[in-house]
Amino acid sequence: MTTGPASDPPVRARPDDPDRTARRLRARPPLAGVVALAVLAALLGVATRHGTLGMLVVALGGLAVYDALSARAALKRVEVTVANPIDGVAGEPSVHVVQARGIVAPIELVLPVWWDAAVRSSIALRGTGPGTMVIDAPDRGVVTHMVFDLVAPGPLGLTEAARRIRVWLPAPWHVGPAGRAHDPGWPRLRTIPPGESSTVTQGDDLFRGVRPYTRGDPRRSVHWPATAHRGTLMVKERDGIEQVALRVVLELDDGGPDAEAAVERAAWLVEHGLSRGWRVHLVTAEAPPAPAAPLLRPGFPLPPPPPVGPATHTVARAIERVDGARHQLAAVGIGLPAQEPWKGLTRVVTPAGDRWQ
Amino acid sequence: MSTEPAAPPGVPQPAPLRTAASPASQALALMAVLVALVAVAARLGSPMWFAAPATALLLGIVIGLAIDLRRWFAAVPGAAAALTTLVVLSVAWAVAGTSAEVATSYAPVPLVALAVFGADWRWVERLRPTTVASGVVLVVPLIGEGDDTALLPLPFAWSAVAAAALWSLRRDDQRAVPAPVPLDGAAGAPREPGAGRTALAVAASWLAAGIVIALLGLVPLYFEAPVVTGRLGSDGRVITPGPGAVVPGDGDEGGSGGGDRGPGGGGPGDTVGGGTGRDVDGDGIPDRDIDGDGIPDVDLDGDGIPDVDADGDGVPDDPAGATTDPGGSAAGGGSAGAGGGGTTRLVDDREGVRTVLRVLGVAVVGLLVAALVAVGVRALVRAVARRRALAARPWAVRLAERLEDEGARRGRARRRDEPVTGYARALADGVLAHDRLEEVGAALSAALFGPGPPSAPTAEWATRVVDEAVAANPPPSRRARRRRR
């Protein structure tokens, strides 16, 4: 079913309940046929004075009224709750638990279309028990509530009642970006000692093994006994108890596609570092979640998501899992984060371009 | 394009372009069309007008369902294909008619088109407009001339069948929408407490809606009925008008011996009403022509009721039985006027209403019976399903529940925190005294929570022990329980 942009003025939420609109009745295509048939019967009945046609008109009218009243009554006491995951990735499917109360007839939970989408998707709520549904995560951000259209078709499908509701999530849903792979031009990696000590500076205190020499290996790493044994140059491989350290600093001076691309690059850097076992710090400036937009008429496309708001505080965390990075990146706002001293590599990611520090 | 296969559960989907209709929906849509065809046949007075199109349509449906023609009808709707078929065959028939010496019947042409139309009987999106459009087929015979009594029930019958078809089609639509995956893994969505009454509520609401619609249907009949303008005749019946009907006067003035006279006879030249505008019988009321034959219908015998020409001899008869033939014995037996065809129709105005009420009564009773049957069948199906589900559970669960039931009947219910072994021990020492019942508790505990099910002989033995314990300790009678309280 497609929904185009409507020109009607939006309907405000009910004064006593800002999280849901009043119920609206809408005609479905079969109603046009029924009305046309009733009009035809009425005209012919008047012209020919046949009472049986009047009975048909009344019967059709009664069916339409019954259908409309039933559809309207079906939405009267429906309450919907949604339990969400804590984290998600923009555009990727995410499992939610949905539960409806007060259902007397099957209703449809419709995901309203966004401005850039033309097709609305729906899922049928037939019972009152909890069930899982899969929803594609929206754009990056912190989602505190979701907006749905509840649609109750009449028993005959002639009409449908609709209402828009805002469902507050039990916990904010941090929708992070998907990583954007790129070549940052890796410099020589730096390591930092574990813990709080800074006296150990090298990462070659553990002997790991030998391997054939390759061009570029330092001469002092040649392992002469192995070379004599194998008859070819062999070099030592060492490992350290230090970790390669990478700090990713995300600086957004403005919103827009470039800023989102910068966030995705930062996400990829963090993922890349974690996949190699590096110690990764992520420094961002966070903004509070956007306030709830007013509810519009059921079926009306949702307004575009609000632009990224100004950051209010700096967050610097050691990232141990990718989910943690997404969780943090979901709340990034516009602003420059404060940086602490860091002995490892620092990658500053900005919409205009990235640089190593 | 189609919903077959169904959408994955739990994933919101856009509305499909086409939804497969269930067999029930297909049957109900067909019934709506058939009811409309019944109206056509009833109006035209020939069962062939029902049998031939119904057979053609049914044949097309069977062919369409037997052979997968979805690929064709996905692009071209059955209605368009039928229309095309009709045009092509009509042209062919016309060409053949001009060239052939023997005239061929045109009847097969629309029947073939109807069969083509019926072949597209698979999708909800096609059956829904078909159901509604069949009302047009119903309307056409309703406006025809003739006796409408036989057609009175058809609008309601068609409305009921069409409503059922639309309801079923809407359910098919709803089924195509994916639902959340229940968290408890149950096959169907869980129901909230008290939801079992929904079926009864739905049936009751349908019944109430049917009654309301049926009663509302009387309104236009009353508007059309001339009861408000007619008067009671001497025999207490209401004289019904029709266009140009006679409304007799209060008394019988001019009745006895008034005699019917032809046009131009000596009556006041009334011009009131839609009849002939004359008062032939001189009763002070303008005579009206009920049957529209141009001859005023009058009351010969002065009983306040226009006389009817039952035998069609052009002489009005007395409805009470005294025929007023020319030269007959009836008082004032004058002859019919010029033209001699002065047919007078006497209709009891309330007869139509009574007919409708009778039909409605039957319909309401039928609806009630149907609703009760539906609810009963639904309850029976659920009871059977529940019994099967209960029987399908492990024997240990069933036996533990039985033990709890028997204990509760004897005044020793199982506590929420009481293990089955302790409960069996308590029963064995109390209300279900048996020396092996404690071992049954241990066997039940092992069966319920152990690594594997016990052997069949163990289950049989445990069941036998419980049977013995129950037989040896009958539950107290109601009086005993009351006395104990």
**pLDDT confidence bin for A264, thresholds 50/70/90:** very high
**Burial (0-12, 13-18, 19+ Cβ within 10 Å), A199:** exposed
pLDDT-wise least confident of B79-88, B347-356, B411-420: B347-356
Question: How much is the average pLDDT of B132-154?
Answer: 79
pLDDT at residue B195, as a whole number: 45
* Band (B117; pLDDT cuts 50, 70, 90): very high
- Cβ contact, residue pair A127, B191, below 8 Å: yes
Q: Which residues of A214-228 are buried (b: 16+ CB within 10 A; e: fewer)?
A: eeebeeeeebeebbe
Chain B residues lying within 8 Å of A80, measured CB to CB:
none
Distances (CA, A) of B227 to B274, B346, B349: 17, 13, 6
Q: Parallel, antiparallel, or unpaired for β A24-27 and A93-101?
A: unpaired
- Can you give the pLDDT at residue B447? 86
| Average pLDDT rounded to a whole number, residues A169-190 | 90
Question: What's residue B340's pLDDT?
Answer: 39
Q: Which residues of A touch B129 (CB under 8 A)?
A: 30, 33
Q: What is the pLDDT of residue A301?
A: 80
Residues in contact with B411: Cβ distance below 8 Å, sequence separation at least 6, in sequence order = B431, B476, B481, B484
pLDDT at position A283: 94
Tell me how far apart the alpha carbons of residues B457 and B465 are, in angstroms, rounded to a whole number: 12
In the three-class reduction of DSSP (H, G, I as helix; E, B as strand; rest coil), residue A345 is classed as strand
Asked if A19 contacts A26 with a C-beta cutoff of 8 angstroms, the reply is no
* SS3 per-residue string spanning chain B: CECCCCCCCCCCEECCCECECCHHHHHHHHHHHHHHHHHHHHHHCCCHHHHHHHHHHHHHHHHHHHCCCHHHHHHCCHHHHHHHHHHHHHHHHHHHHHHCCCCCCCCHHHHHHHHHHHHCCCEHHHHHHHHHHHHHHHHHHHCCCCCCHHHCHHHHHHHHHHHHHHHHHHHHHHHHCCCCEECCCCCCCCCCCCCCHHHHHHHHHHHHHHHHHHHHHHHHHHHHCHHHCCCECCCCCEECCCCCCCCCCCCCCCCCCCCCCCCCCCCCCCCCCCCCCECCCCCCCCEECCCCCCCCECCCCCCCCCCECCCCCCCCECCCCCECCCCCCCCCCCCCCCCCCCCCCCCEHHHHHHHHHHHHHHHHHHHHHHHHHHHHHHHHHHHHHHHHHHHCCCHHHHHHHHHHHHHHHCCCCCCCCCCHHHHHHHHHHCCCCCCCHHHHHHHHHHHHHCCCCCCHHHHHHHHHHHHHHHHHCCCCCHHHHHHHC
Give the confidence band of B99 by pLDDT, cuts at 50, 70, 90: confident
Report chain B residues whose CB lies below 8 A from the CB of A44.
139, 142-143
Residue A166 and residue A146 in contact, taking contact as beta carbons nearer than 8 Å: yes
Contacts of A45 (CB under 8 A, 6+ apart): A51, A52, A53, A54, A56, A57, B143, B220
Q: How many residues does chain A have?
A: 357
pLDDT in tens, B288-330: 555 555 555 555 555 555 555 545 555 555 444 444 444 333 3
Residue B89 clears pLDDT 60, i.e. is over it: yes
Model pLDDT, residue A182: 92
Distance CA B372, CA B366 (A): 10
Q: Which of B12, B195, B213 sits opposite A62 (nearest CB)?
A: B213
What does the alpha-carbon distance between residue B374 and residue B78 come to, in Å, rounded to a whole number? 33
Note whether B321 and B210 are within 8 A (CB): no
Indicate the angle between helix axes B124-142 and B23-44, nearest 10 degrees: 20
Q: What is the pLDDT of residue A281?
A: 93
pLDDT beyond 60 at B259: no
Contact state of A132 with B180 under an 8 Å Cβ cutoff: yes
* pLDDT exceeds cutoff 90 at B115: yes
Mutate which of B130, B131, B132, B205 to test chain A, going by most A C-beta atoms within 10 A? B132
Residue of A41, A55, A65 lying closest to B214 (CA atoms): A55
Residue B103 reports pLDDT greater than 80: no
Structure tokens at A55: 């009975």
**Residue pLDDT, tens place only, A106-130:** 899 988 876 555 677 888 988 888 8
Give the Cα-Cα-Cα angle A195, A198, A203 (nearest 5 degrees).
Answer: 85
CB–CB contact B182 A127 (8 Å): yes
pLDDT of A89:
92
Report the distance separating Cα A162 and Cα A30, nearest Å. 17
> What integer pLDDT is reported at residue B276 of this predicted model?
42
Count of CA atoms in the C-beta half-sphere (13 A) of A323: 5
Radius of gyration (Cα) for chain B, nearest Å? Answer: 37
| B457: number of Cβ within 10 Å | 8
How far is it, in rounded angstroms, from Cα A103 to Cα A163?
A: 14
Average model confidence (pLDDT) across chain A = 85
Q: What is the mean pLDDT of residues B275-289?
A: 51
Separation of CA A144 from chain center: 11
Residue B3 has pLDDT above 60, yes or no: no
Q: Across residues B58-86, what is the average pLDDT?
A: 88
- Indicate which of A52, A53, A134 best probes the interface with B, i.e. most B CBs within 10 Å of its own CB: A52
Given a contact cutoff of 8 angstroms between Cβ atoms, the answer to whether A150 and A80 are in contact is yes
Give yes or no for a contact between B229 and B241, defined as CB atoms under 8 angstroms apart.
Answer: yes
**What is the pLDDT at residue A196?**
59
> From the list A44, A58, A127, which residue is nearest B220 (CB)?
A58
Q: Using the beta-carbon criterion (under 8 Å), do B10 and A120 form an inter-chain contact?
A: no
Average pLDDT over residues B51-69: 88
* A120: closest chain B residue by CA: B14
By C-alpha distance, the chain B residue nearest A54 is B220
| Helix, strand, coil share (%) of chain A residues, nearest 5 | 25, 35, 40
- Give pLDDT tens digits for A274-319: 998 899 999 999 988 888 888 888 888 887 777 778 888 899 999 9
Highest mean pLDDT among A205-209, B306-310, B334-338, B377-381 belongs to B377-381
For residue A122, list chain B residues with Cβ-Cβ distance below 8 A.
12-15, 177
- The Cα–Cα gap between A134 and A144 comes to 17
Closest partner residue to A30 (CB to CB) among B166, B213, B217 is B166
Q: Is the pLDDT of residue A353 over 80?
A: yes
Interface mutation target, options A40, A48, A58, A125, chain B, most CBs of B under 10 Å: A58
Is the Cβ pair A30, B132 closer than 8 Å? yes
What pLDDT score does B167 carry? Answer: 92
Tokens of B79: 């209605």
Report how far residue A291's alpha carbon sits from residue A297's, in angstroms, rounded to the nearest whole number: 19
* C-alpha closest to that of B346 among B262, B290, B275: B290
CB contact under 8 A, A56 and B138: yes
Min Cα–Cα distance to chain B from A264, Å: 27
Backbone angles phi, psi at A307, to 5 degrees: -65, 160
Q: Give Cα B286 to chain centroid, integer Å.
A: 45
Query: Burial of A95 by CB count in 10 Å (0-12 exposed, 13-18 middle, 19+ buried)?
Result: middle
pLDDT for res B178: 86
Q: How far apart are CA A220 and CA A235, in angstroms?
A: 9
B347-370 burial: b if 16+ Cβ within 10 Å, else e: bebeebbebbbebbeebbeebeeb
Residue B283 confidence (pLDDT): 53
* pLDDT of the residue at A341: 86
The tens digit of pLDDT for each residue in A180-213 reads: 999 999 888 888 877 655 555 555 678 889 999 9
Name the residue with tokens 């001469």: A219
List, for residues A17-50, the tens digit of each pLDDT value: 778 888 999 999 899 999 999 999 889 888 887 7
Distance CA B83, CA B449 (A): 69
The pLDDT, as a whole number, for residue B105 is 82
The answer to whether residue A246 scores a pLDDT higher than 50 is yes
Rounded-to-integer distance, Cα A115 and Cα A3, Å:
10
- Helix (H) or strand (E) holding A162, with range, is strand A159-176
Using the beta-carbon criterion (under 8 Å), do A121 and B183 form an inter-chain contact? no
Residue numbers in B near A63 (CB within 8 A): 159, 163, 209, 213
Share of chain B above pLDDT 70, in %: 59
The minimal CB distance from B216 to the residues A62, A124, A134 is found for A62
Residue A232: predicted pLDDT: 93
- The beta-carbon neighbor of A155 closest among B148, B152, B167 is B167
Contacts of B241 in chain A (CB under 8 A): none
**pLDDT for the residue numbered B303:** 55
Residue where the block lists tokens 């199906």: B381
Q: What are phi and psi of B433, to 5 degrees?
A: -60, 120
> Do B14 and A120 lie within an 8 Å CB cutoff?
yes
Q: What is the four-CA torsion angle of B232, B237, B240, B244, rounded to 10 degrees?
A: -60
Residue B132 pLDDT grade (very low, low, confident, very high; cuts 50, 70, 90): very high
Q: What is the pLDDT of residue B185?
A: 52
Give residue B255's pLDDT: 37
A and B: number of Cβ contacts within 8 A: 201
For residue B47, the number of C-alpha atoms closer than 13 Å in the C-beta half-sphere is 1
* A189: amino acid identity, one letter: L
Which pair of tokens denotes residue B202? 């739905």
Q: How far is B92 from chain A (nearest CA, A)?
A: 33
CB contacts of B11 in chain A (<8 Å) are: 93, 123, 133-134
Residues A113 and A263: their CA atoms lie apart, in Å, by: 25
What's residue A263's pLDDT?
93
Q: For the ranges A7-11, A112-116, A230-234, B307-311, which has the lowest average pLDDT? A: A7-11
SS3 at position A229 = helix
Best-predicted range by mean pLDDT among A46-50, A350-354, B195-199? A350-354
Is B179–A44 a contact, with Cβ atoms under 8 angstroms apart? Answer: no
Q: Cβ–Cβ of A119/B14 closer than 8 Å?
A: yes
| Residues in A touching B167 (Cβ below 8 Å) | 155-157
Mean pLDDT of B201-220: 55
| Residue B395 token pair | 């024997």
- Chain B nearest-CA distance from A155, in A, is 6
Instruction: Calculate what percentage of chain B has a pLDDT beyond 90.
Output: 17
Alpha-carbon dihedral angle through residues B224, B229, B230, B236, given to the nearest 10 degrees = 100
Chain B's closest residue to A35, CA to CA, is B132
